[in-house]
Each structure stands twice: as structure tokens, then as C-alpha cells.
Amino acid sequence: MSYLNTNRILPLPSSEEIRLLGSMIEKYSGLHLGADKGYLMQSRLSDFAIKHELKDYKEIYSSVKNMPRLLFEMLELLTTNETFWFRDDKLWEVFEKEIIPYFVGQIVLGKKRPLKIWSAAAATGQEAYSMAIAFCDYFIRQKMADDCRLMINIRGTDLSPKSLKVASDGIYSEAQISRGPTSRLLAYMDRFDDTRYQLKSDIRKMASFDALNLLDPFHLGSEKFDIIFCRNVLIYFREDLKAQVVEKLAKSLSDKGTLVLGSSEFLPVGFSQLVLDERFSTTTYKLADGEK
């Protein structure tokens, strides 16, 4: 019998416990969990401790240090963020009214090639599929052919294979759907079972998902993206690691491309490869020697 009380919640970690676990998390994921993340550790590791019969943070540290399977499970718990559909109304308004028309005109109709988009922190797919739905709605409003959606190529990447499995399947609970414009989402979904819906296959085919650590050497080849979303990720990196990530994003951006960060995120101080993109009325970035 387990010596743990199954109702037991871990106490808030001490500053030393946060430092100990935080250094391990940063080593393997690059994400920096500072002293203000004690509640996050407490809330996400309590069930983990019960499941594996670990009585405190020191036992958690010792166990994950020696068991890669447990380390990976802990990283999943601590680096997976809650995600929403069409998060940040102002950004999505600009995306639909300015960014989509610009790139459809320049790339799809102008260069007659697929528009390449990267959701760099895709989590369970809501951001990538929000983009897919926005493009489909635009094509409907413009009375463009249904096969235009075949010209939209969305790539989603994330650290968590578990989250990416959800994204690839495109199956969401009613609670997950409620974190967005429900009626708009349901127009592109079918009932999957009593409590879940699945995105229609035409929407799912617009996006593909792969595991990727933004600090690892990239496996995206020489592919260049016209639109890159990397939102609410940089805030978790130290300044030196943030510069590494942004440099990789810049190298993945096409000459006419635009980079979208979170509303509270900015380029690292002194980073000169990217400049403000004045084509759009929200804060996005383009290559310094790119499209004028």
C-alpha cells in the first residue's frame, strides 16, 4: 500500500527546490521557471507525486534525474500551456483584415504557390486551426474556390508529443471549444462522441504537426515561412536563449514574411536582423533587408 495520502497536495516549493527543479527543466527544454513559478510546480506536480509515490520535491528531483521516462513526463506537465482559439481579439482582427488579404494576394494569387505558415508553439493545435478557419472564412467571403485552402500549408511544432497528438487528431472537448467563438468553431466540426467534437477533415488537412524544441538544431531544412507565429513563448526564456530562438525564427522567415510575437513580447535588445513590419497595424516583424 502506498504511504501517500492520495488527497495530498505538495506544499509550495522553497526557493532552493524551485532552483533545483528549474535548472533541470531549463537544461532539457530551455524554458526558464523562475522564483514566481512555485504555484505552477505545486499545482502540476502534486498528482505526479501521488502517481509515482514521491513524497516531496527532493524525491521528485532524484527520481527524474535517474529515470528518463519520469523526466519526460515531468517536462510535459511543466512546459505545456493552456491554449485558446483566436486568442487576442485585436491580433486576430488584423490577421483576418490585413495579413490574410496581403499574403493571399502576394503569394497565392501573385506567385501561384502555397502560403507557408509556422505555428512555433502549437500546443494542442488551437492556434494553427484558428488560422486555418480564418483562411477558409476569408475564401468564403471572397467567393474564392474551395480548393484555395489547398494553397495554405500550416506547420505546427511543439515540445510535447502528447499535445501534438491532440492537435493531429483535431478532437476537442466541449470545455476546450468553449474557450473560443463556439458557433464559429462548430461550423467546422463534426460530433465525435457524447462530449467531444472533431474538426472536419478539410481543416485538418491544412495543418501538420511535428515535435520540435526551439533550442535544438532545426529539422525544418531550408524551408522558409511567409507567416510565423511564436506567441507567449519568449517570455519563458533567459535573454541569451531568447536571442538564439529569435535568430532561428529570422532564418526561417521568407523575404516578404512577417513574424508575430505575443502582445507582451519584444525582440532581444540589440537584435538587428528583424525590424518592425509597418505593413500591418499590429506589432509584427520582418527581415531588416526584406520587403519594403
Domain CATH for 268: 3.40.50.150
Residues 54 and 121 in one domain: no
Q: What is the pLDDT of residue 82?
A: 65
Asked whether residue 247 is domain-assigned, the answer is yes
- Domain-ending residue, one of 79, 99, 133: 79
Residues 68 and 208 in one domain: no
Stretch 36-52: mean pLDDT: 87
The domain containing residue 45 runs over which residues?
15-79
Residues 75 and 98 in one domain: no
- Asked if residue 78 has pLDDT above 50, the reply is yes
Cell readout for 218 is 532545426
Q: What is the pLDDT of residue 155?
A: 96
How far out from the chain centre does Cα 104 lie?
23
Residues 99 and 142 in one domain: yes
Decide: residue 264, CB within 10 A, 0-12 exposed, 13-18 middle, 19+ buried.
Answer: exposed
pLDDT digits (tens, 9 = 90+) for 4-17: 444 568 888 999 99
pLDDT digits (tens, 9 = 90+) for 235-290: 888 888 889 999 999 999 999 999 999 888 999 988 999 999 999 998 899 999 86
DSSP string, the chain: --SS-TT--PPPPPHHHHHHHHHHHHHHH-----GGGHHHHHHHHHHHHHHTT--SHHHHHHHHHH-HHHHHHHHHHHHPPP--TT-SHHHHHHIIIIIHHHHIIIIIIII-S-EEEEETT-TTSHHHHHHHHHHHHHHHHTT--GGGGGGEEEEEEES-HHHHHHHHHTEEEHHHHTSS-HHHHHTTEEE-SSSEEEE-HHHHTTEEEEE--TTSPP-STT--EEEEEE-S-GGGS-HHHHHHHHHHHHHTEEEEEEEEE-TT--PPTT--SEEE-TTSSS-EEEETTS--
Residues 129 and 65 in one domain: no
Residues 60 and 166 in one domain: no
Residues 263 and 169 in one domain: yes
What is the rounded CA–CA span in Å between residue 134 and residue 93? 10
Residues 158 and 271 in one domain: yes
Cβ–Cβ under 8 Å, residues 8 and 45: no
What interhelical angle do 57-66 and 38-51 show, nearest 10? 70
Asked whether residue 226 is domain-assigned, the answer is yes
Residues 101 and 26 in one domain: no
Number of domain units in the chain: 2
What is the rounded CA–CA span in Å between residue 85 and residue 189? 14
Residues 74 and 93 in one domain: no
For residues 65, 233, 247, 221, the Cα torsion angle rounded to the nearest 10 degrees is 80
Residues 75 and 130 in one domain: no
The type of residue at 255 is D
- Domain-ending residue, one of 43, 58, 79: 79
Asked whether residue 144 is domain-assigned, the answer is yes
pTM of the model: 0.83
pLDDT tier, 75 (very low <50, low <70, confident <90, very high otherwise): confident
